[in-house]
Structure 1
Amino acid sequence: MIREMKTLLSVAQLGTFVAAGNRVGLTQSAVSAQMRSLEQAVGTPLFERTGRTATLNAAGQRAVRMATEILQIYERLCTPEQPDGYHGSLTLGAIASAQTGMLPAALVHLRETAPQVQTKLVPGVSLNLLSAVDAGELDLAIMIRPPFAVPKELRVELLAQEPFVLICPLDLPGDDPLQLLRDQPLVRYDRHSFGGRLVSNFLREQRIEARAGLELDELDAIVRMVAAGLGVSLIPRAGLWLQQPARVRVLELGPLTFHRELVLVLRHAQHRQPLIQLFRQCLGGTGETADQIGGDALTTRRHSPS
C-alpha cells in the first residue's frame, strides 16, 4: 500500500487525479484504480464522487494525515543511520559545465557520507541525458531545463539560474553588447542545444542578424575561441570559470539579461529512494556559484542596453 498512499498524498496536494498522475507517472485511470484499491484495503470510501470529480471526504482527510505519518516512518526505515549502511551504485549524467562546476564538491560529499556507494559519471549534452534518464539508463542527470514538456514519468528540480553575458576579446573596443553582436562575427553556442536555443531566441527578439562564425556546444572551447580573437559570444556566466587562463572581456546585458536553468532530472518513481535523496542533499550543500569561481581571470563591465 506504500505506492497507493504516495499517490493519495499527491491527489490531496494537487487536487485532481490527472495532476497527481502527471506527478507520479500514471494515467488518470491508473490513479483511480489505486484509490479504489486503497479504499478496499481500509474498508471505507475516501472520496465523494460526483460525475468526473472526486473530493476527499472526512475519512479521506483522516487517511491523508495517517498516510503522511506512515510514509515518514517508512522513509526513516529505508534510510541507513550509519554511512556504511548505504550500498549500491549511482549512475549520474551531467553536462560539461556541471562536471567542472557544482558536481565535484557534491561527489566529494557523497564519498565522505557513503563510502560504499559506487558512482558512475556519464557526460553528455542535455537532450541525450534527458533521453537516457527516460530510458532508465541513468538514475538522474544534471542538465539544462528543456524548452519543452518532459515525459510525465520524469521529475525536474531547479538547481540554479545562470545569466547569459556577452564576451569579447580584451582588445576589442566598444561597450554596447547589441552593437558588438551586430558588428562582430559570432562564436555561436550551438543553436540545436537547449542553451543555444535561448541565444537564438534572444537574437530574434533583438532583431539581430548574427554574422557567420563558428558554432560549437562546449563552453570552455567558446571562451578560448573568443579569447583568440575569432569573434564575440553569448554564453551563460558559468562558462567563464571553466577556463581560468582564457582572458576575455565580459559585458553584462542589464535589463535584457536572460538565463538558462540548471536542473536535476530523475524519474518520479525513484525520487524518494534513500540513495537518490542522499545525493540531492550532497548536491544542495556544495555552496558554490559561478560568481564565486574564477573571478580573477575576468574583466567585467555592466551595461544597460537602450
Structure 2
Amino acid sequence: MDIRFLESFVEVVDCGSIADAARYLNLTPAAVAQRLKAIERELGHSLVSRAGRTVRPTESGLAVLARARQLIAGARDLRAIAANDQPVGALRLGSTATGLTGLLPAVIASLSQRCPRIEFFVRPGSSLDLYHSVMSGETDAAVVVQPPFHIPKSMGWVTLREEALVLIVPEAMEAGTPESIIGSAPFIRYDRNQWGGQIVERYLRKHRLKVREWLELDALDSIAALVSRGLGVAIVPDWSPPWPEGLRLRKIVLGDGEPRKVGVVWSLASPRIAAIRAFVETCGEACR
C-alpha cells in the first residue's frame, strides 16, 4: 500500500474537499481523486462519499481513519530513523500567535535552506494546549510561554527571549503614574487562563492594584487595537514584533514586573530528534 495514497485520503477528510486537499498536497484534483479510487479498490470499500463539492468519510472511511494516521506517522518516523541522525522528515511544530508572526517565519526560512529534507507542519494554539501536545507526542516542539511549573526530564526547554511587562495606554491619554492610570482607566485584562495573563495577575496582586475591569481577552493584538481606539488600558508583555500596524498608543515599561519568558519545549524521545535539534538551534540564532 502506497503511504502517499493514505496521506491523500486523510487530507481529503481533513479538508472536506478534494480541491482543497489537492492544493495542500500540491497535486491536481484529478490526481487526488485517482489516489482515492486506487486505495478504495485495494481495501475493497468506499472510503468517502461526495455531496456536491463536499466530501465526507463513509463508515468504512471512519473505521480506518485513525489507523491510517498511525501508519502515516510511522512511515515518517521510519524515514527519520533511517536517516542516521540527519535532520530529515516531517517536523510537527506548534506556536503561540506571537511566535507565529514574530519568530517562525524567519526560523523556517533559514532552516529550509540549511535542511531542505525537513517537512514542516505548524499548529497554532495556546501555550498550555501546545505543551500538552508536545508531552503526548502529537507535536515534536513548540514555541510557548515558559510553564509556571517544573518541566519533566523527558522534555527539553530553552529560553529564547524575555519580554518585559508594559502598560499600554492610548496615545492621547494624559501622563500619570502607572498606578494612577491603572486605577482610574477602564482595564482590558490579558486572559488569566493564559500563562502570560497569570504573570499580569501576579503583578496586580503584588502591587495591590484594583482595576476597573470590563473586558478579558486572550489575543494580544486585539488588546492593543482596543487600547489604540481609546477604549481602555492594559498590561501586556512587550512581545516580539510585528505589532499591528497603525497603533496609536504608548508603552510604559513596568520595571519591577516579572518578564514573560518565551522559549521552545520539545520531546527528547522523538525519532525526529535531529530535526528538532536543528530547529531549536535555528530559533536560538534567530533570537540572538
In structure 2, the gaps of 5 or more residues are: 1-82
Aligned with 1:234: secondary structure?
strand
Q: 1:257 to 1:203 in 2, by over 3 A?
A: same
Give the TM-score normalised by the residue count of structure 1. 0.64
Aligned with 1:118: secondary structure?
strand
Paired residue for 2:102? 101
1:241 & 1:180 partners in 2: Cα distance?
26
Paired residue for 1:111? 112
How do 1:15-26 residues align onto structure 2 when only pairs under 5 Å count?
none
Paired residue for 1:232? 233
Paired residue for 1:55? none
Shift of 1:119: 0.1
Q: What is the identity, as a one-letter code, of the residue corresponding to 1:134? A: M
Shift of 1:268: 2.5
Q: Deviations over 1:122-167 (max 9, x none)?
A: 0000110011011100001110011122344222221111111000
Aligned with 1:280: secondary structure?
helix
1:281 & 1:205 partners in 2: Cα distance?
36
Corresponding position: 1:142 with 2:143: yes
Q: What is the identity, as a one-letter code, of the residue corresponding to 1:89? A: A
Give the TM-score normalised by the residue count of structure 2. 0.67
Paired residue for 1:131? 132
* Contact 1:78-1:274 within 8 A present in 2 as well: no
- Superposed CA RMSD: 1.9
Paired residue for 2:199? 198
Q: What is the identity, as a one-letter code, of the residue corresponding to 2:173? A: L
Aligned with 2:269: secondary structure?
helix
Shift of 1:179: 1.2
Paired residue for 1:156? 157
* Contact 1:191-1:200 within 8 A present in 2 as well: yes
Paired residue for 2:172? 171
1:160 & 1:126 partners in 2: Cα distance?
15
Paired residue for 1:207? 208
Q: Which stretches of structure 1, 4 residues or longer, exceed 3 Å deviation after superposition?
A: 77-80
Q: What is the identity, as a one-letter code, of the residue corresponding to 1:147? A: P
Paired residue for 2:277? 277
Aligned with 2:113: secondary structure?
helix
Aligned with 1:186: secondary structure?
strand
Shift of 1:219: 0.8
Shift of 1:267: 1.6
Moved more, 110-119 or 229-238: 110-119
Shift of 1:273: 2.2
Q: Deviations over 1:38-70 (max 9, x none)?
A: xxxxxxxxxxxxxxxxxxxxxxxxxxxxxxxxx
Paired residue for 1:261? 261
Aligned with 2:151: secondary structure?
coil
Aligned with 1:226: secondary structure?
helix
Paired residue for 1:188? 189
Q: Deviations over 1:103-132 (max 9, x none)?
A: 111000011112222101100001100110
* Contact 2:158-2:265 within 8 A present in 1 as well: yes
Q: Deviations over 1:214-250 (max 9, x none)?
A: 1101111110010011110011111663212212111
Aligned with 1:133: secondary structure?
helix
1:130 & 1:271 partners in 2: Cα distance?
18
In structure 1, the gaps of 5 or more residues are: 1-76, 81-85, 289-306
Percent sequence identity is 34
How do 1:7-86 residues align onto structure 2 when only pairs under 5 Å count?
78-80=84-86, 86=87
